Amino acid sequence: MNHDNTDPLIEAIREKAAKQNVPIIKTETLAFIEQLALIARAKRVLEIGGAIGYFAIQMARSANVEVTSIEIDPGLAKLARENISEAGLKSAIELITADALEVDPAALGTYDIIFVDGAKGKYRSCFLKFKHSLKQGGFFVFDNLLFRGQVAHPETILSRNRRQLVNKIKGFNEFIMNQEDFLTRIYPLGDGVAVAIKTR
């Protein structure tokens, strides 16, 4: 499991993301999820918010899982397809260009891990829509739940729109921590990551 910059393809994807201002998962958060996948012996991962394929490619390579990745933006999905093809992982990664909330979960089957990194205001809806797609003992992972420290310190926010978004994230954190069928913890990794294990 190697996250240095010696892999030309991964470095090229990072550079594309930086140039186009596309956020990708932080290295420590990715390593954490890979470790969880290996411990859980995960076979299938659903990603909501695929961007340009960085997470899917890294997971397919390092954790040897099959990934279904959903990306709403056709332009980003096109880049993801190119990156997945270049990585030689078309057989391991299924990319769906769609709004995740309009996808039929029954058509996808069940997953060991569901990683959510799309629009933060839709996290609750994504959880409710896909919680039955998660196997018992599997887990959701939600990224960016501390939002640059602003969830803990909303008084530092000057933008009204940003304050509304942070309030939505704060509300989601409270919501996910109180789901009866899930055991949830929020870790101060990267920009804050929640792991919600399906207990029944």
DSSP sequence for the chain = ---STT-HHHHHHHHHHHHTT-----HHHHHHHHHHHHHHT--EEEEE--TTSHHHHHHHHHS--EEEEEES-HHHHHHHHHHHHHTT-TTTEEEEES-GGGS-GGGT--EEEEEE-S-GGGHHHHHHHHGGGEEEEEEEEEE-SSTTTTTT-GGG---HHHHHHHHHHHHHHHHHHT-TTEEEEEE-STT-EEEEEE--
Multiple choice CATH, 8-198, 1.10.150.300, 3.40.50.300, 3.40.50.620, 3.40.50.150: 3.40.50.150
Cβ contacts of 118 within 8 Å, gap of 6 or more: 48, 49, 72, 100, 126
Q: Is the pLDDT of residue 149 over 50?
A: no
What are φ and ψ of residue 191, in 5° steps?
-110, 25
Residue among 78, 117, 112, 114 nearest 97 (CA): 78
Q: Is the pLDDT of residue 152 over 90?
A: no
pLDDT digits (tens, 9 = 90+) for 98-148: 999 999 999 999 999 999 998 888 999 999 999 999 999 999 999 988 765
pTM of the model: 0.89
**d(Cα 178, Cα 182) in Å, to the nearest integer?**
8
pLDDT digits (tens, 9 = 90+) for 64-83: 999 999 999 999 999 999 99
